[in-house]
Each structure stands twice: as C-alpha cells, then as structure tokens.
Amino acid sequence: MGYNVGITLAGYYNEDEEIFSKINLPEGLDKDILTYQILTDVGNLYPALQEPTILKKAIHNWFDSNYHNFERILLAINADYSPIENYDRTEEHIITREGNESESGSNRTDRNETNRTDSNGSMNETTNGSSYSNSSTSTDGSETDQRAADNSESFRNTNKRISEADSTGTDSGTTSATTNGTNSNLTNASLTGNDFGSFQTGRERNENETERIRAHGNIGTTRNSEMVFDEIELRKYNIYEDIVSRFADKFLICVF
C-alpha cells in the first residue's frame, strides 16, 4: 500500500522557476544547462523539504555556499598545461644595485701672444699736359619778309633785316702736376692671460635587474603514455553532472 510523499522537484519548478533562475554561479557555468541537467537527471525525485518557500531559500543558500568550490574546480579543469609534462618550475631572481658616482677635475690655459706689423712706402707722381689753341668765326646774313594783298596773287616785301657779325677767338694753355710722398706705419699688439676652471659631477645609482628562469618537461617518474591515459580519464569528468550529484545528495530522497 503506497502513500503520498509530496511534490517532485520538477513539480516545484513548474510552480516557481525562481528555484533555479535566481541561483548564483561562477563565471564559466551556464545556468540554463545546469537547470535542465538537474531536471532531466533528478527532476522526478522528491525534495526532503516540501515547503516551497523554505525549499527555494535552502537551494539558493546551498549554491552561494559552494560558489568558490565550483569556481576552483573550473579553474583546475580549465588550466592550460601540457598533458605529457609532469615538471614545471619557474625561478625569479631580483638583483638590486645601489651606489653613488662622482667625477671632478680642473684645467688651466696660459696665453702669451705678440703681434707687430711694419709698413713703409713712398709716392712720386707727375702729370704734364700739352698746349692747346682754339679759334672760331661766325657770319650772319640777311632776312626779308613778303606778304600778298587780299586781291592780288603777287607778293611784296614788307620787312627786311640785314645783320653781319664776325667772331674770331683763340684759347691756349698748358697743364702740369707733381705729387711726392712717404708713408710709414708700425703696429704692436700683445695679449697675456690665464684661464682657470674646475668641474665636479655626481649621481646616485639605483638599478634593479630581474631574471626569470622556467624549467619544465618530464622528469622520468611517469611515462608519457600513462599521462595521456590519465588525461583521457580526466576529460570524462563533467562538472554539471558533479553538481547535480551533490545537489541530489543534499536535497532529494528516493521513494519507490
């Protein structure tokens, strides 16, 4: 003789989807995939808690408390590694150099320079011209004006001017010039001096040098073929199935 044990998990989900839609999952887990994985695998089982509000709060609290566990599992199974290596070591060395550097010195330059310039010269220049003579003569002639009357085509004299001029001239001369001179120049110049100078420089030194060394491979304790088969076994692991199994152990009971 059977008896009524309540409502299945799928029945509660049909009444209130927030049972799983409001759960908190780490990045990398798909909420829809997990929901349907739970419903298809254990949805026909009965929750031990039959009060809907308490059941929903208990489910949400369970996922919150396991959040970091599921996150670490994801990181482990998704880690980037070589399946045929069992040795991977990284070393880091940091070398720090500190100190002070300085440099100093001096210089001196002595100068003694003397310059002298002498120049002597003379000049004698003579210019002699030649005699010259010019003469000219000009003569002016006569000039007559004529006019015709209004009723005649014949012209009659109206004015007559007669001028005569004779001009005769003579110009002569002689030019001569003489220049004598002497030029003497003496220039003395001297320069004496000393240049002194000194310098000093310094700086602080603070240097860091980082050296990283990575060693990896198979140290020989396990054959490569064994590690390959271990990798195949690992890839049979399904995190959604693992969460469903843990969830069923926590909340569900089997009744036949």
Q: Tell me what pLDDT residue 216 has.
A: 73
Provide the strand spans (E) within the chain.
46-47, 87-128, 132-134, 142-148, 155-162, 171-173, 176-217, 252-253
| Domain regions of the chain by residue span | 9-86+219-253, 102-207
Cβ-Cβ contacts under 8 Å for 15 (sequence gap 6 or more): 7, 52
How does pLDDT run along the chain (256 residues), one tens digit per residue?
Answer: 344 568 999 999 999 999 999 999 999 999 999 999 999 999 999 999 999 999 999 999 999 999 999 999 999 999 887 876 766 677 777 888 776 766 666 666 555 656 555 556 555 545 455 454 555 444 455 556 666 555 556 666 666 555 554 545 555 555 555 555 555 555 555 656 665 566 667 677 777 788 888 777 766 666 777 888 888 888 899 999 999 999 999 999 976 5
Q: Tell me what pLDDT residue 158 has.
A: 60
Q: How far is CA 152 from CA 53, 147, 149, 157, 158, in A?
A: 158, 10, 5, 14, 15
Q: Tell me what pLDDT residue 152 has.
A: 56
Q: Tell me what pLDDT residue 121 has.
A: 55
